[in-house]
Amino acid sequence: MKKKSLMTLIGSLCSLTVALVVLGVFFNKTENEKQNGLSNQYDVSSQNKIAYVVYEMGKPQLVLQNEGESEDTVVAEYDEETMILDPSFSSDGSILAYITTNKDKETELISTVHFYHLEKKTISDVFTDASTVTEVEFNPDQSSLLYLRAGTFENYSPIVGERPHNFDVYEFNLDQKTHIQKTKLEQYSIYSLNVAQSGDRVFIGRDDDSDVETAEDSFDVKQRIFEIPLENPDEMSVLSDPKRDVSIFSFTITPDGNEVIFQSISNPNDGGIYEYELFTYNLDTKEEEQLTHFGEHVGDPVVSTDGSTIYFMMDKNFAKGDPNYHLYKMNVDGGQSEEIVLHGNSE
């Protein structure tokens, strides 16, 4: 009886072990696979084509839509271990650049920049680098690519998890196939890379740590927009209002170079959940205006080539769980906003 009970117990334990292993494999596998829906990675071409990234069971798809048409075209799809970042059109709209990088940064840092050729409907690999490339932009004359590269993946501090660090701006010459490091900032974070229409300078978002002398000073650091001449990067200067006491996050520059459209917190002193809205800052008059009033999480602005329309993403589930992104557009003055329905939108 005891032997039978022991064998039953052993059998039960074995079954339980197998079940736990299966569940472990299942949950491990679905950690990436549970990523679903529209991401905030997108761009709009000079012909009003929208390129965006959507996830289905963790697998990223790069999708094209002609604005105003209901048909979407999946131009690339990758496995659940991969992310697609920063689709970016060339100035003439003929090429769509995008980045693929591995989700598991602890195992390896690897990124590949690709071109999707819209007329030929073909994909080519531009370069692969042992790093995390987060953003890529065409030089307006399409002779080169400017990109943001993070060379390490580590803890910034004991209370912050591992993430990419040592960001700098690089340029890849498309004819010579050469990489040039344009800055030596080694920043904790750089974001929203924009290239001037002249091609001689870039704009980035980063911490304004120029006055940091002590550890206590770092708590007062604000994120601002910087202008960097590519031939003289040491002449970097603050482009946004240097006295603004609330950080600036994602942003873009209007085609005429006169205004900055940016994301910031609209209720910094309310004590509740932050609301992120879009603002405009006129570089000539130094005047600022709030453009959106959704009371949500609005960001990632893109301005149309003719300067008349602002596109942006809204996360309707901000601070509540997984993001629920929706793409909107509005007039450059903030009026007549409307949603653009994309594959992957959820209610």
Contact 213, 199 (CB under 8 A): no
Domain residue ranges in the chain: 1-33, 34-128
Q: What pLDDT does 34 receive?
A: 76
Q: Which residues contact 153 (CB under 8 A, 6 or more apart)?
A: 105, 106, 109, 132, 162, 163, 164, 165
Work out the pLDDT band at 211, boundaries 50, 70, 90.
low
Three-state DSSP class for 144? strand
Q: What pLDDT does 71 receive?
A: 80
Contact 239, 248 (CB under 8 A): no
Contact 264, 277 (CB under 8 A): yes
Nearest residue to 250 via CA among 208, 301, 285, 289:
301
Q: Hey, CA dihedral for 7, 9, 11, 17, is it positive or negative? A: negative
Q: How far apart are CA 57 and CA 134, in angstroms?
A: 22
Predicted TM-score (pTM) of the model is: 0.87
Long-range contacts from 70-79, C-beta under 8 angstroms, 24+ separation: 72/342, 72/343, 75/116, 75/121, 75/123, 76/114, 76/116, 76/123
Q: What pLDDT does 2 receive?
A: 41
Work out the pLDDT band at 213, boundaries 50, 70, 90.
low
Q: What pLDDT does 263 receive?
A: 98
Q: What pLDDT does 18 receive?
A: 39
Q: What pLDDT does 14 receive?
A: 42
Work out the pLDDT band at 12, boundaries 50, 70, 90.
very low
Contact 81, 107 (CB under 8 A): no
Q: What pLDDT does 209 receive?
A: 81
